[in-house]
Amino acid sequence: MELRGSKTIVTGASKGIGRRIAELLLEKGAVVLGVARSTEKLRELEEKYENFHGLPCDLSDLQCCHTIIDTALREMGGLDILVNNAGFAVYGMVWEQSWKDIESQVMVNMVSAMCLARKALDYMLEKNNGTIVFILTGAVFASILGLSAYGASKSGLSYFAETLRHELDGTRIRILNVYLGEVTGTEFFKNPGFKRMGNRRCKYFCTTVETVAKRIVEALEKDSEGRLYIPRILWLAAKIAPILDIAVGL
Ligand SMILES: NC(=O)c1ccc[n+]([C@@H]2O[C@H](COP(=O)([O-])OP(=O)(O)OC[C@H]3O[C@@H](n4cnc5c(N)ncnc54)[C@H](OP(=O)(O)O)[C@@H]3O)[C@@H](O)[C@H]2O)c1
């Protein structure tokens, strides 16, 4: 796909992986509607890139999903790529998580991405064209102690995304499901719940934000679809871990 001029939504564009994907897309000439809660960080990107529009929105509120797609169609005049990236984890054993922690992880990580995809499909199916990226995690292949609600939300999203991919067989709409190891250089582990670990070092299938963003943008350029494992070795873990019934600690 020619990224120059492509109309793209990136959720979680204020920092980490989403920000880097948005920047790389912008550098390739794409028009990007970036969504996040941090208004200031979105404004920074607007000042730096002419083709970037920031939309402050809290994805735990489903109304946001309608606003995002309506704004994209109105402001950009179409939609070629939706990158469902926004997400977060609250660390803690099940009994240490509040109802609110559980609800917000499920809403932001899973339900909002499903609703955005659902609404984007109205447009994409009519055009019979488009790409939807789902940012997932290797945590869906093994139990990670302290990440039950996060893993559940991403596992649910993985099921949705994989099934959608098959439902769209025979159309020109591509689904790219990205399974990530641990990514350094993002604010993911800055969530207050992770504080008790102090200065934790990357342990499992480490990769960098730069590598992740580059591989995703390359995959978009090549019209890749299906599963993308970053790092590639995660593919093997995905096959073996479910058989072993393992649980690992962070
Ligand atoms: N880092 C890792 O090791 C790792 C591993 C596997 C998968 N992932 C996945 O990669 C994705 C990006 O994470 P990251 O590592 O880049 O973390 P990050 O640096 O913390 O960035 C998370 C992004 O999500 C946005 N976000 C969070 N809650 C939101 C809400 N309620 N409404 C709107 N936006 C919200 C944040 O924006 P605001 O705070 O401005 O709202 C931010 O832009 C997530 O889906 C995560 O699950 C990360």
User: What are 183-198's pLDDT values in tens digits?
Assistant: 999 999 998 888 888 7
Residues 92, 147: Cα–Cα separation, whole Å:
7
d(CA 83, CA 31): 13
State if residue 16 touches ligand 1 by the CB under 6 angstroms criterion: yes
Q: Which atom of ligand 1 is nearest to the CA of 112?
A: 32
| CA 87–ligand 1 middle distance (angstroms) | 4
Q: Where on the phi/psi map is residue 78: left (φ > 0), alpha (ψ -120 to 50), or beta?
A: left
The CB of 158 under 6 Å from ligand 1? The reply is no
Query: 221-225 long-range CB contacts below 8 Å, 24 or more apart?
Result: 221/1, 221/3, 221/28, 223/1, 223/131, 223/174, 224/174, 224/176, 225/131, 225/165, 225/174, 225/175, 225/176
Residue 201 in this model has a pLDDT that exceeds 90: no
The total number of residues written for the chain in this structure = 250
CB-based contacts of 233: which residues, under 8 Å, 6+ apart? 205
pTM over 0.95: yes
Cα angle, residue 218 at apex, residues 204 and 44 outer, rounded to 5°: 85
Domain 7-248 has CATH 3.30.559.10: no
Structure confidence at residue 230 (pLDDT)? 98
The answer, yes or no, to whether any atom of ligand 1 lies below 6 A from the CB of 28, is no
Q: Where are the domains of the chain?
A: 7-248
| Alpha helices (H) in the chain, listed in sequence order | 16-27, 39-48, 63-76, 99-105, 112-127, 148-167, 209-221, 234-244
Backbone angles phi, psi at 232, to 5 degrees: -60, -35
Residue nearest to atom 44 of ligand 1 (CA): 87
CA angle 214, 30, 77 (to 5 degrees): 140
Q: What is the pLDDT of residues 129-140, one digit of tens each?
A: 999 999 999 999
Distance of CA 106 from the midpoint of ligand 1 (Å):
13
199 pLDDT band (50/70/90 cuts)? confident
Instruction: Give the separation between CA 126 and CA 187, rounded to whole angstroms.
Output: 37
Q: Are 53 and 36 in contact (CB under 8 A)?
A: no
- One-letter amino acid of 178: V
Check if 177 has its Cβ closer than 6 Å to any atom of ligand 1.
no
| pLDDT tens-place string over residues 25-45 | 999 999 999 999 999 999 999
Whether the predicted pLDDT of 200 surpasses 90: no
With a 6 Å cutoff on the Cβ, whether 188 touches ligand 1 is yes
Pocket test for ligand 1, best of 186, 209, 230 (most atoms within 8 A of CB): 186
Residues 66/118, Cβ–Cβ less than 8 Å? no
- C-beta of residue 42 within 8 angstroms of C-beta of residue 34: yes
> Where does the pLDDT of residue 246 fall: very low under 50, low under 70, confident under 90, or very high at 90 and above?
confident
Q: What angle do CA 223, 10, 79 make, to 5 degrees?
A: 60
pLDDT in tens, 54-101: 999 999 999 999 999 999 999 999 999 999 999 999 999 999 999 999
Q: For ligand 1, atom 42, which residue shows the shortest CA distance?
A: 12
The answer to whether residues 74 and 25 touch, using CB atoms and an 8 Å cutoff, is no
Cβ contacts of 239 within 8 Å, gap of 6 or more: none
Kindly report, residue by residue over 214-243, the tens digit of the pLDDT: 999 999 999 999 999 999 999 999 999 889
Note the pLDDT of residue 39. 98
User: Using a 6 Å cutoff on CB, does residue 43 contact ligand 1?
Assistant: no
Q: What is the mean pLDDT of the chain?
A: 96
